[in-house]
Amino acid sequence: MFLKEIKKTEIGGGFYGKVRVQLSLTLLKRGSDSSAHANGFFDFQETSLMLSMRKQAVLLGLVVYGFSFLSEISQLQAEDWPQFRGPNCAGVSTAKNSLPVEFDDQKNVIWSAKLGDGIGCPVVAAGRVFTSGMVGKDKVALYAFDAETGKKLWERVWKTGDLLEIHKTNSFAATTPAADDERVYFYFSTLGMLAVDAETGADVWEQKLPVPYFVFKWGAGMSPTLYKDLVLFCQDDDLEPAFYAFNKKTGKIVWKDDRSDQAVNYSHPVICETNQGDEIVVAGTGKLIGYDPKTGKRLWTAQTLLRNIKTTPVSRDGIIYVALQSGGIANQWLASIDRWETGNSDGKVTKDEIQAFVGKTKVPEAFYKKTFDRGDLNKDGALEGKELDIAFLPPGNEAGAKFGEEPAQQFVLAVKGGGRGDVTKTHLLWKHPTKHTDHIVSPLVTADRMFLVKGGGISTCFEVEKGKKIWGPKRIQNESEYFASPIYGDGKIYVAGENGKIVVLEDGPEQKILAKNDMGDSILGTPAIADGRIFIRTRGKLICVGEK
């Protein structure tokens, strides 16, 4: 069994799979091969005592090697970037490999490959790189490349069926796969959750899920994440928001949490290690929720958030750090529907205006039933004033600005994990209003600092103990829109702008810009870091850069 597992690791492929097993198999061989006697390894006659001593020596050698081997495997796995923003969705690589400072679409490029349109992120596991892309109006592809050479290992293509209209900045291939050394887990709105063999791309399992619906045409953008033997997936849409845990091997739903108290959110689950055990923490409408990984039971809630959240928190040392920006719901609907070219700007919202805003696709009656009909208190067929709050804020979870209030709010905050019940007053460590957060770009926490960037290249740095500002706001010399989140590796921070330029900063108490690199194509997906290389997904390419 031991040697079988070693062999499996050795054939993992690429520069990850080549684990050099340096166990002196001579020890094992000499313990069982009579030729060792002739070679002078044992020049005495075996007695039962000597045989026992020899067995103990072999066992000791295996134990010592086992610790060494496991340590090497642990280090190996730490170099993987297996899901959105890497390990625990934090955007941090702890590997000691040197990473490049200067690069572009030609300089320090190890390899590149053409892809179909997409904005999902690349992931790296066991020497393979995975990402997705559209290959036609109704086909989506999942790609696998050798991380070392860029050789395409396989490509799977699925027909998607009819797709709902999405925002022009978005792509239907907006989700990020998750991967381990055995399987790749991939979500697509009309296909559900899929698992394929990481080596061959062959089907392993599929799990059909409700097709999400988004009135604002934001589209499906949530991705699977991994925890032990579970695939985690949270989908907060306008119809059936829910949080799922699937069995990695079978795809069976282990547990499901009905999140009907949530509006539309795009925040990925993170793992919080506490004295009471691991917790899965998900941000959403109004609150952070801590879940029991085994049962999916809600362990605690912290009513600290706003109407929507599209950023993913960072969990570190039992503390969850959040940066968010969200508009007030009444103002949001009025601005987008009543004041849109399809509305009449009378301060009210009707079903006809909602339908005109959505376009040709018929708005589901189920959506009106759970929102509009609840809020239309006087049954006049229009929502006005506080009716908008009642319609579009879940009962008992009226988060964010209400009608007539300032529509946009921004905060940075920290919540301690490990509580039970309502921990709003007991576990909120700090919370500060700010004007420096982005509504999509997630925070980066390194050392004792939180780094933020928002549209226009405006960056800010906070210390994490109290949330006090260290420096900023300061521009990072790239006045772009930002959708990709910052990542860290080798003492450097990499920030990719939509315009295709990646700014490299030194991770430190002061803003120090090291380089600005032009990749020649738009970037919306967060890059991945693995084994001294950065994997960058532009809208049309996958580019691997590293020091040559």
- Give the tens place of pLDDT for each residue, 310-368: 999 999 999 999 999 987 778 788 888 988 788 899 999 999 999 999 988 899 999 99
Tens digit of pLDDT for each residue in 236-283? 999 999 999 999 999 999 999 999 999 999 999 999 999 999 999 999
Lowest mean pLDDT among 11-25, 118-132, 302-316: 11-25
Q: What is the pLDDT of residue 157?
A: 98
210 token code pair: 């409700």
Q: Which of 69-83, 237-251, 441-455 has the lowest mean pLDDT?
A: 69-83
Options 1.25.10, 1.25.40, 1.10.238, 1.10.357; CATH for 329-392 is 1.10.238
Query: In what helix (H) or strand (E) does residue 370 lie, and over which residues does it extend?
Result: helix 365-370
Residue 456: Cβ within 10 Å count: 16
Residue 362 CA neighbour count, 13 Å, CB half: 3
Annotate 344-358 with b (16+ C-beta within 10 A) or e (fewer): eeeebbbeebbbebb
Strand residue runs (E) in 296-443: 298-302, 314-316, 319-327, 349-350, 382-383, 408-416, 421-422, 428-433
Q: Which residue has the higher pLDDT, 520 or 46?
A: 520
Percent of the chain past pLDDT 90, that is, above it, reads: 74
Q: Give the tokens for residue 26.
A: 């001579």
Tokens of 218: 């934001």
> Rounded distance, CA 91 to CA 522, Å?
20
pTM of the model: 0.85
Identify the DSSP state of 337: I
Domain made up of 87-328+407-546: CATH architecture: 7 Propeller (2.130)
Order of strands, sheet of 183-188, starting from the edge strand that comes earlier in the sequence? 178-179, 183-188, 192-197, 203-207
Q: What are phi and psi of 104, to 5 degrees?
A: -155, -155
For the chain, the structural domain boundaries read 2-78, 87-328+407-546, 329-392
Q: How far apart are CA 287 and CA 439, in angstroms?
A: 16
Q: Specify the pLDDT at position 447.
A: 86
The pLDDT tens digits of the residues spanning 112-128 come to 999 999 999 999 999 99
Q: Which amino acid is at 76?
A: L
| pLDDT above 70 as % of the chain | 86
Return the H-helix or E-strand segment holding 481: none
Label the pairing between strands 421-422 and 298-302: parallel
Confidence bin at 477 (pLDDT 50/70/90): very high
- Whole-number pLDDT of residue 76: 40
Q: Please, how many CA atoms are within 13 Å of residue 495, restricted to the half-sphere of its CB?
A: 33
Q: Check pLDDT > 60 for residue 62.
A: no
- pLDDT category at 169 given cuts 50, 70, 90 is confident
In the DSSP assignment, the letter for residue 51 is: H
